[in-house]
Amino acid sequence: ETGVTQSPTHLIKTRGQQVTLRCSSQSGHNTVSWYQQALGQGPQFIFQYYREEENGRGNFPPRFSGLQFPNYSSELNVNALELDDSALYLCASSFDWEVDTQYFGPGTRLTVL
Amino acid sequence: GESVGLHLPTLSVQEGDNSIINCAYSNSASDYFIWYKQESGKGPQFIIDIRSNMDKRQGQRVTVLLNKTVKHLSLQIAATQPGDSAVYFCAEEVRDDKIIFGKGTRLHILP
């Protein structure tokens, strides 16, 4: 098991609602990346936070936003939920965005009805 | 464009045989490639990586081959075990902060 935890494990929301997902990074890691994984697909990069600043963003609309806290934990916020937002949301922590130090959490399964 | 794809969605292999999972990438500027394993209910797990200045890298029971001429990656797993059952993704780092994953190949181990 990695030291990366995510909460909640599962979540059901309705279209138009807002959701906040949380991620606690591995001890010693200062970078958190968020990914969206639709069923049967590979993870898609949403954005990355390094030392509390956004450090890169994928092709996701502004209603996907995030935060990183001084302890390097992170939140992903999604506003105005759409049906297509249903997916597994993964966070991964690393040290100085070095991919070979990256550990993924188990994910949060979001279902939008 | 940026895309990483896989040739086969499902691969069935007899326990004890070697497994080979293939992957094509399209971004010729990519210089870092990674293979991940994702078991049911878990996040992806880093297996092995390779930089574009290499054509082969070996780990414990795994080997990654990179053919830059045809933009092709493969992951070889020696003596496949039941615990190797998972979905395997190839991925490429397009810059320090962005990794592009392929769609994945499910490896199924036959007893």
Angstroms from A54 CA to nearest CA on chain B: 10
Residue B97 binned pLDDT confidence (cut-offs 50, 70, 90) = low
**Out of B97, B100, B103, whose CB is closest to A55?**
B97
Beta-strand (E) ranges in chain B?
Answer: 4-6, 10-14, 19-25, 32-38, 45-51, 56-58, 62-67, 72-77, 86-95, 98-101, 105-110
- Distance, in angstroms, between A103 CA and closest chain B CA? 7
State pLDDT tens for residues B29-56: 888 999 999 998 899 999 999 999 999 9
Which candidate from B41, B97, B100 shows the least CB-CB separation from A56?
Answer: B97
Distance from CA of B36 to the nearest CA of A (A): 10
From chain A, the residues in CB contact with B104 under 8 A are: 40-42
State which residue of chain B sits closest to A102, comparing Cα positions: B46
Task: Inspect the interface and report whether the beta carbons of A99 and B93 lie closer than 8 Å.
Answer: yes
pLDDT in 10s for each residue of chain A, 113 residues: 678 999 999 999 999 999 999 999 998 899 999 999 998 889 999 999 999 999 889 999 999 999 999 999 999 999 999 999 999 999 999 988 777 788 999 999 999 99
Contacts of B34 in chain A (CB under 8 A): 99-100
Of A41, A45, A99, the CB nearest to B34: A99
Mark yes or no for CB contact B45/A105 under 8 Å: no
Half-sphere exposure of residue B24: CA atoms within 13 angstroms, side-chain side: 8
Q: For residue A51, give the DSSP letter.
A: T
Check residue A82 and give its pLDDT.
98
- Rama region for A16: left / alpha / beta (φ>0; ψ in -120 to 50; rest): left
Alpha-carbon span B107 to A1, nearest angstrom: 21
